[in-house]
Chains A and B, each alone.
Chain A
Amino acid sequence: MLFPTLDFGLFFLPVLLLVWTVGLASNEWRKIILLLASWVFYGFWDWRFVALLIASAAINWGCAQAIQRRLDDGRSAQPWLGIGVAANLAILGFFKYFGFFLEQLAPILARAGWGRDLPVLEIILPVGISFFTFQGMSYLIDIARRQTAPASFLDITLLMSFFPHLVAGPIVRASHLVPQFKAVPRLTRGMVATALMLICWGLFKKTVVASELATGLVDKTFFDPSAQTGLDLALGAYGYAVQIYCDFSAYSDMAVGLAALLGYRFPRNFDQPYRATSLQDFWRRWHISLSSWLRDYLYISLGGNRGGVWFICRNLMITMLLGGFWHGAKWTFLIWGALHGGVLAIERLWREWRPEGFPALPKPIAILIIFHIVVAGWIFFRADTLEGALAYFSQLWAFRPGLTLASPLLCGLIAFGLAIHFTPPTLLPALGRRVAAWPAPVLGLAVGLAILLTDAMRFEGVAAFIYYQF
């Protein structure tokens, strides 16, 4: 069930009604309604994986209790933390990486004459598994670090199943959401106005900008780069940069908006990433919940900044390589991670060894350079295979003249997708304050009109969000 569909609308409205009627009388019932709704939402993909979700929550709940007991007894939390993290990694590893490792192992074993004995397993990847397993791990680590207290079974199951963020984040941590589960939430006018704006804005970005660019330009350029002109390929790469931003940030916007209508506050996940002046700055603006997760639970665990510059570079590289691998078991994701890790390391070395008095790059030039590094990374990220990515670069370099794919509308959408990065950062709260003052009927008419406009412009059908596959 995808957010920008009528199926989802018809699912969400009764849930909203129940939550704000039955749920007002009892907070426990409110959470039970949300939990059941989340399972129905997840069950739309595959009912079998609801059991996996429940099992995963049960494991994390049990390990959290055990960790807390050991901490209360003054003993080390490490054994149960290790078991809990290993269990989460085992779930993630089996569903996401087993096939990849088998694929890599097959030629080696075949050469040794054992290839025929390899099992052939068609493993279906449960939607959102990377998100809920990361959530489980951060919960256990936070308890071991005494940064949060163990939650009840209902709260932890709801945290991991809560449908607005279940399949593609943001990765909401227990320390942030569980305290919100403990009381009946209160809606403010500012929250309602901003939530409705985010939902409409997300709908537009996904169904108009991202879908139009994907179908009209990006899918075609990446399908067969050798058949395209240089300008189409360049615009295809820029188009993908805009598509992935408008797709993923749309999901996050809608997730934040839907959760807010239910009374819960999710953190922001994007902050105009293509206006970043360094790659470090980019990662403070792109998929913030993942980058802060990697920083807090991986980079810091590796030693973080506590060491010499080469040690820091090593940690950056490992973190980004694993970040790439988190996206999927493909060489293209590893190279994408390596590119980001490498550039982050170079930035770090430059900060360390930059000659005194050496002038800093003008901001627009820095933005342009970082944007193009990010776009180069996106080519690896989007290509189906490593050969495909290399073919894209080689055809781009050959730069065959002409323009066949990119229509004025598609060029306009690319320009629009980039231009929105340079609006004032305070635009959303300022608009939210203004819209909150509108009378409710005016707000309702504006929302209806915005959805109607988007529906008239949207592509037929809706492709799954890019991050659903992760």
Chain B
Amino acid sequence: MADQFDSPVDVEADDQGLSGLAQMAVAVGIAVFMLAMLNAHALGAWADGLEPDARTARISAVAHGLADQAATHGLDGPRAALKQQWDRVKAARWPDQASGNQDQR
């Protein structure tokens, strides 16, 4: 049994190459950039939820502009395809199961 103060992040790994800090900076930067490109619509949806005023209107315009650009280049395709597949899995029912549970989402 693990000690109560053991941390799951206490992983001894080879610290060759980039330092931990540089590793994190590059990894987080790339992940954020990737999500901003492939999931730009989330930024638009987030901006829509802001309280409307002149400042948030500008934020919303930028967010939606980015989402539109991403859609124009087909960057939202992978997420949309994944979501479509997942929705199909969600809609599946057992052979004799009533379909009265379609309002799950």
Residues of A with Cβ closer than 8 Å to B?
A: 6-7, 10, 13, 16, 20, 176, 186-196, 198, 212, 215-216, 253, 256-257, 260-261, 265-268, 271, 284, 288-289, 292, 403-405, 407-409, 428-429, 432-433, 436-437, 439-441, 443-445, 447-449, 451-453, 455-457, 459-460
B31 touches A409 (CB 8 A): no
B105 touches A256 (CB 8 A): no
Size of interface on B: residues with Cβ below 8 Å to A? 55
Q: Tell me, in angstroms, the Cα distance from A288 to B4 when the chains sit together.
A: 7
Q: Please give the distance in Å from A414's CB to the nearest CB on chain B.
A: 14
Q: Is B38 an interface residue (CB 8 A)?
A: yes
Q: Tell me, in angstroms, the Cα distance from A460 to B87 when the chains sit together.
A: 12
Q: Please give the distance in Å from A219's CB to the nearest CB on chain B.
A: 11
A192 touches B30 (CB 8 A): no
Q: Chain A interface mostly helix, strand, loop or mixed?
A: helix
A268 touches B39 (CB 8 A): no
A189 touches B23 (CB 8 A): yes
Residues in A with CB closer than 8 Å to B4 are 267, 288-289, 292
- Give which listed residue, A188, A198, A433, contacts B20 with CB less than 8 A: A188
B97 touches A404 (CB 8 A): yes
Are A265 and B7 also in contact (CB < 8 A) when A409-B90, A444-B26 are?
yes
B20 touches A191 (CB 8 A): yes
B19 touches A187 (CB 8 A): yes
Q: Is B11 an interface residue (CB 8 A)?
A: yes
Q: Please give the distance in Å from A88's CB to the nearest CB on chain B.
A: 21
- Give which listed residue, A212, A268, A441, A455, contacts B6 with CB less than 8 A: A268
A268 touches B26 (CB 8 A): no
Q: Please give the distance in Å from B96's CB to the nearest CB on chain A.
A: 8
B26 touches A188 (CB 8 A): no
Known contacts A192-B23, A253-B8; 9 additional CB pairs below 8 A are A6-B43, A188-B13, A190-B20, A193-B13, A268-B8, A407-B93, A429-B8, A452-B35, A452-B78
Q: Is B54 an interface residue (CB 8 A)?
A: no
Q: Is B101 an interface residue (CB 8 A)?
A: yes
Are A267 and B20 also in contact (CB < 8 A) when A433-B13, A441-B26, A447-B27 are?
no
Are A444 and B101 also in contact (CB < 8 A) when A6-B46, A452-B38 are?
no
Q: Tell me, in angstroms, the Cα distance from A189 to B18 when the chains sit together.
A: 8
Q: Is B79 an interface residue (CB 8 A)?
A: yes
Q: Is B10 an interface residue (CB 8 A)?
A: yes
Q: Tell me, in angstroms, the Cα distance from A408 to B35 when the chains sit together.
A: 30
B82 touches A444 (CB 8 A): no
B8 touches A198 (CB 8 A): yes
Residues in A with CB closer than 8 Å to B27 are 192, 196, 440-441, 443-444, 447
Considering only CB atoms, which chain B residue lies closest to A408 in the complex? B92
Considering only CB atoms, which chain A residue lies closest to B7 in the complex? A265
- Give which listed residue, B12, B20, B30, B90, contacts A407 with CB less than 8 A: B90
User: Could you list 16 examples of A-B contacts with CB < 8 Å?
Assistant: A20-B21, A189-B20, A190-B13, A191-B11, A198-B9, A265-B9, A267-B6, A268-B8, A289-B4, A404-B101, A408-B94, A437-B13, A441-B26, A443-B27, A444-B30, A456-B79
- Give which listed residue, B26, B79, B97, contacts A440 with CB less than 8 A: B26
A436 touches B13 (CB 8 A): yes
